[in-house]
Amino acid sequence: MRPLHMLLCLAAACTLTAQDLQPRFGMIVPERIIDTSTRGRKLFAELENLKKTLQEKLQAKTAEFQKLNAQLQSPSISDAGKESIQKQLRDLDFEGKKLQDDSQQELQRTQQKVIGQFEREIGPLVEELAKEQKLQLVLMYQPGLVAYADQAWLLAFSDEIAKRYDAKYDANAPLGDAAPGTKPAAKPAAVSAKVKGTD
């Protein structure tokens, strides 16, 4: 075999090897799955409702504190009245701090529970789709870490997961230990992704 022919064959073999080694990967955008699936929205609604409830409680305590503080500034209030209000303010301050700490802990517990359940439920779907598409790697999208990505490609994998998520779980099933069921006839309305640069 002539040396030039050998070099060309070797170069071709190296090119094929390099192509075979190129990883095939996909990108998963959790916010997209949550927003575009009935199951995802229902699961995370629990967290949003808790946030709203706790915020309302904290705002009520703040309003009560401000009201008492305004009464304390009144020029017509007696010394005994001032002392009484100051005691109430100290009690409210203590209650407010305790409520804030308790609320934070409750929110963290619920957040861990909801995110944990979401990850457990979509995990097998991600693995299944990755194998079907012969992907070697599935990355988790995080804003700020990706300089550029084609929008259609970026969301395609997550959109397919969202469809399979709703197909696997009955929208009316309880969230705690919901078993896979049949998807109801009603179709969920699509919600725009919370991904920077998407429409």
The whole-number pLDDT of residue 53 equals: 94
Q: Reply yes or no on whether the pLDDT at 179 is more than 70.
A: no
User: Does some domain include residue 12?
Assistant: no
Instruction: Report if residue 10 sits inside a domain.
Output: no
- Cβ–Cβ contacts within 10 Å for residue 88, how many? 16
Please state the domain count of the chain. Answer: 1
Residue 173 lies in a domain: no
Task: Please report whether residue 18 resides in a domain.
Answer: no
In a domain, 7, yes or no: no
Q: Whole-model pTM above 0.75?
A: no
Residues 6+ apart with CB under 8 A from 187: none
**Does residue 96 lie within any of the structural domains?**
yes
Q: Helix 151-168 vs helix 38-72: angle between axes, to the nearest 10 degrees?
A: 100
3-state SS string over 167-182? HHECCCCCCCCCCECC
Question: Is residue 45, in this structure, part of any structural domain at all?
Answer: yes
Lowest mean pLDDT among 35-44, 60-69, 126-135, 167-176: 167-176
Residue with the bigger pLDDT between 142 and 176: it is 142
Enumerate residues 6+ apart whose C-beta is below 8 A from 198.
151, 154, 155, 192
Give the structural domain span for 55. Answer: 26-168
For the chain, the average pLDDT equals 79
- How far CA 191 is from CA of 169, 179, 188, in Å, comes to 19, 25, 9
Model confidence band, residue 172 (pLDDT cutoffs 50, 70, 90) = low
Q: Is residue 186 part of a domain?
A: no
Structure confidence at residue 194 as a pLDDT band (50, 70, 90): very low
Per-residue confidence at 23, pLDDT binned at 50, 70, 90? low
Mean pLDDT confidence for 173-196: 44
